[in-house]
Chains A and B, each alone.
Chain A
Amino acid sequence: MTTYILRRLIEAVFVLLILTCLVFFCMRLVPGDPIFLYMDSTDVNMLTPEKIAALKHELGLDQPLIVQYGRWLANAVRGDLGMSLFYSDRVSKMIAERLPVTIHLGIFAFILSSVVGIVLGIVAAVRRGRWLDTVATLAANLFITIPMFWLGILLILALGLYAGILPISGYTSPFEDFWLSTKQLIMPVLCLAVGSMGSNARLTRTSMLEVIHQDYIRTAWSKGLKEKSIISKHALKNSLIPVVTVLGLHIRIIFGGAVLIETVFSIPGMGSLMVDATFNKDYTLVQGGVMVVAIIVILSNLIVDISYGWLDPRVRYD
């Protein structure tokens, strides 16, 4: 087990290296000299070429790319992600402010999509061929096709503007005003969860149908057990294995969705920060954000993978 975790962590380091390298060189393809982002447009006219060169030297922008990357990496390992070119603020500080917001949204979206998706799948499988199955399957198929930003707009229109029950944008910390925070969270969480909910439901249904036809389920029936106990004790745990395998994937999808949903609902989280950073060509911020998002996705995937062992004792970590 320890060797497994260790090996995965070493792999994760490689993945992070490749990813940051990719983004680093990709962002340097951006046309235009990043030095001009660092200064106000008024400054540019006053600055002499000598001063620009000095500033470049100070920021290390006159070094070869590979040296710049090495320097960035060395600092990043020490927790220093550099200065944002656009906001002239520490990248690590900006991310520390925004990240909890996205995690707050993401955790609720993850729980909602897993629980509701799995329940929907079980209901569909148990009532296979009946109207409940038809409704649940159709719902799951619609959930995976709905563009989440568009769902956000529909919800804003229906619940926010017409009915006026929920606030249409913004974010409040739950420690500040719990009730307002919860109300503001409902629509974005729903939007983030809906796609994963649909695919969890589809997968659970398929997997449950496979398990239901196994011999040990027939044995359970012939022992005279109640349907409820057969489903919850015998079928569910086994049919959840393939579902849990892909739960880690949904963390990635939810984080990606935050890019859109935080823009729709004007939520100051990682997603909207990344959108702003890309539009501003603020590549120190993009670079730092990419690394932090990747670390979170990789670590949460590791946790999901370790939890297999609990569901399926046959899994050996080697």
Chain B
Amino acid sequence: MQQAGVGSEEISDVKPKISEWQRFRRVFLGRKVVLFGLIVLLFYILVAIFANLLAPYDPYQIDLPNLLASPSFVHPLGTDTLGRDILSRLIFGIRPTLMVGALTMLIAAIGGTTLGLLAGYFGGMVQTLIMRFIDALMGFPMILLALVIAAALGGGLRNIIIALGIAMIAGFARVMCGQTLSIKQNDYVLAGRSLGYRGRRLMWRHIVPNAFPPLIVLATMNIGVVILMEAGLSFLGIGIQAPAAAWGSMVSEGYGFLLQSPLLSVAPGLAIMLLVFSLNMLGDGLRDALDPKLRGAL
């Protein structure tokens, strides 16, 4: 046992029972669903990387005599309206899906964090202006906003990412603004200020790193939302352009042929669901592991 009043060096030598990282790992991987989510996500990423090797056919190979074929040994999931192999298109469809999810989140996170940081740090008029703009974005259905922006920009992968990125900014700005307002009150920010640090250094060195945990949780949770919205926009026909394989447009393609070839619509939907489910489970796990309020409770 340490005695009270010994030198401060000795007291600081007392190691916590487990390190921060060990605690994080224990809580994060402790639940089976989270582990499941992690494995599924890794599986999707691997399939996306090795799509060329894994896909049995060229996803663009048109085979008109064989259109809407039923599942067989030759085509495990059958073929689509142009005779293209559904499994191969499903495999190649992971790439745009993951790309849209990740890049959109990046745009929304950078844009939203910056806006929220500025609003929370400066307060007053700046905060009112920025947050009213964010309220305007929040007061409107996201998918409709993305639809209008994407239509204005002209569709396609790049424009979908921009449109969804803008539509998703609001959530990050709200969280970051709240975080900044509360972190600003901490002594270490005051200490930084009294050391003579000004705006930019104070914001990026002292405030942003401490606001990270809730932002990471929000980003993980929102990738699922983005993927669902991208699928929705592709389903409407405004997303990734043909002939590229996008899951949303595959669902829409199969819509007219539900009785002949139900798998054409059903399979990509399942692929979306499994991915979003895994991402949500990961988000839940991260929240449990990073939320200081839950510390000790789990």
Residue numbers of A with Cβ under 8 A of B are 11-12, 14-16, 18-19, 22-23, 26-27, 29-31, 141-142, 144-150, 153-154, 156-157, 161, 252-253, 255-257, 259-260, 263-264, 274-275, 278-279, 281, 286, 290, 293-294, 297-298, 301
B180 contacts partner chain A, Cβ-Cβ < 8 Å? no
Q: In whole angstroms, how far apart are the Cα atoms of A255 and B141 in the complex?
A: 6
Using A154-B266, A297-B141 as known contacts, say yes or no to A274 and B251 having CB atoms under 8 A apart. no
B272 contacts partner chain A, Cβ-Cβ < 8 Å? yes
With both chains docked as a complex, state the minimum distance between the C-beta of A170 and any C-beta of chain B, in angstroms: 16
| Residues of B close to A23: CB separation below 8 A | 148
With both chains docked as a complex, state the minimum distance between the C-beta of B293 and any C-beta of chain A, in angstroms: 11
| Residues of A close to B104: CB separation below 8 A | none
| Residues of B close to A255: CB separation below 8 A | 141, 144
Number of B residues contacting the other chain (C-beta, 8 Å)?
44
**B131-145 contact mask (Cβ, 8 Å, vs A): 1 or 0:** 011011111111110
List, sorted by A's number, 20 A–B pairs whose CB atoms are closer than 8 Å.
A15-B135, A18-B133, A30-B151, A142-B273, A145-B280, A146-B273, A147-B276, A150-B272, A150-B273, A153-B258, A153-B269, A154-B266, A252-B142, A256-B143, A259-B236, A263-B235, A278-B147, A290-B144, A294-B139, A301-B139
Q: Which of chain A's residues has its CB closest to B235's CB? A: A149
With both chains docked as a complex, state the minimum distance between the C-beta of A261 and any C-beta of chain B, in angstroms: 10
B141 adjacent to A141 (CB under 8 Å): no
Q: Which of chain A's residues has its CB closest to B274's CB? A: A145
A26: which of B148, B248, B262 is its contact (CB, 8 Å)? B148
**3 residue pairs, one from A and one from B, having the closest CB atoms:** A256-B141, A150-B269, A18-B136
Q: In whole angstroms, how far apart are the Cα atoms of A18 and B251 in the complex?
A: 35
Using A27-B152, A294-B140 as known contacts, say yes or no to A145 and B276 having CB atoms under 8 A apart. yes
With both chains docked as a complex, state the minimum distance between the C-beta of A251 and any C-beta of chain B, in angstroms: 9
| Residues of A close to B248: CB separation below 8 A | 147
Which B residues, 248 to 272, have Cβ-Cβ distances below 8 Å to chain A? 248, 251, 254-255, 258-259, 262, 265-266, 268-269, 272
B136: which of A15, A27, A147, A301 is its contact (CB, 8 Å)? A15
Using A14-B132, A150-B251 as known contacts, say yes or no to A260 and B143 having CB atoms under 8 A apart. yes
| Residues of A close to B265: CB separation below 8 A | 150, 153, 157
Q: Which of chain B's residues has its CB closest to A31's CB? A: B154
Using A150-B251, A281-B151 as known contacts, say yes or no to A263 and B236 having CB atoms under 8 A apart. yes
A256 adjacent to B144 (CB under 8 Å): yes
A29 adjacent to B148 (CB under 8 Å): no
Q: In whole angstroms, how far apart are the Cα atoms of A142 and B224 in the complex?
A: 12
A19 adjacent to B136 (CB under 8 Å): yes
| Residues of A close to B281: CB separation below 8 A | 141
With both chains docked as a complex, state the minimum distance between the C-beta of B145 and any C-beta of chain A, in angstroms: 8
Using A14-B132, A23-B148, A275-B147 as known contacts, say yes or no to A260 and B232 having CB atoms under 8 A apart. yes
Q: In whole angstroms, how far apart are the Cα atoms of A142 and B236 in the complex?
A: 23
A278: which of B135, B140, B151 is its contact (CB, 8 Å)? B151
Q: Which of A27, A149, A259, A286 has the most chain B CB within a 10 Å cutoff?
A: A149
B224: which of A15, A145, A293 is its contact (CB, 8 Å)? A145
With both chains docked as a complex, state the minimum distance between the C-beta of A134 and any C-beta of chain B, in angstroms: 11
| Residues of A close to B266: CB separation below 8 A | 153-154, 157
B273 adjacent to A145 (CB under 8 Å): yes
| Residues of B close to A29: CB separation below 8 A | 152-153
Interface SS of chain A: helix
With both chains docked as a complex, state the minimum distance between the C-beta of B214 and any C-beta of chain A, in angstroms: 16
**B115-159 contact mask (Cβ, 8 Å, vs A): 1 or 0:** 000000000000000001101111111111001110111100000
A290: which of B140, B273, B276 is its contact (CB, 8 Å)? B140
Q: In whole angstroms, how far apart are the Cα atoms of A157 and B263 in the complex?
A: 11
| Residues of A close to B149: CB separation below 8 A | 26
B277 contacts partner chain A, Cβ-Cβ < 8 Å? yes
A298 adjacent to B141 (CB under 8 Å): no
B152 adjacent to A30 (CB under 8 Å): yes
Q: In whole angstroms, how far apart are the Cα atoms of A286 and B222 in the complex?
A: 27
A156: which of B139, B140, B258 is its contact (CB, 8 Å)? B258
B144 adjacent to A293 (CB under 8 Å): yes
B86 contacts partner chain A, Cβ-Cβ < 8 Å? no
| Residues of B close to A26: CB separation below 8 A | 148-149, 152
Given A30-B152, A141-B281, A252-B140, 19 more A-B residue pairs with CB atoms under 8 Å apart are A16-B136, A18-B132, A19-B137, A27-B152, A141-B277, A145-B280, A147-B228, A147-B231, A147-B251, A150-B273, A153-B254, A256-B142, A257-B143, A259-B144, A260-B143, A274-B147, A275-B147, A286-B148, A293-B141
Q: In whole angstroms, how far apart are the Cα atoms of A281 and B154 in the complex?
A: 10
A253 adjacent to B151 (CB under 8 Å): no
B273 adjacent to A147 (CB under 8 Å): yes
| Residues of A close to B251: CB separation below 8 A | 147, 149-150, 153
Q: Which of chain B's residues has its CB closest to A14's CB? A: B132
Which B residues, 212 to 228, have Cβ-Cβ distances below 8 Å to chain A? 224, 228
A260 adjacent to B236 (CB under 8 Å): yes
Q: In whole angstroms, how far apart are the Cα atoms of A264 and B237 in the complex?
A: 12
Q: In whole angstroms, how far apart are the Cα atoms of A286 and B137 in the complex?
A: 16
B280 adjacent to A144 (CB under 8 Å): yes
A297 adjacent to B139 (CB under 8 Å): yes
B139: which of A19, A30, A157, A253 is its contact (CB, 8 Å)? A19
B154 adjacent to A259 (CB under 8 Å): no
Using A19-B139, A141-B277, A145-B280 as known contacts, say yes or no to A274 and B258 having CB atoms under 8 A apart. no
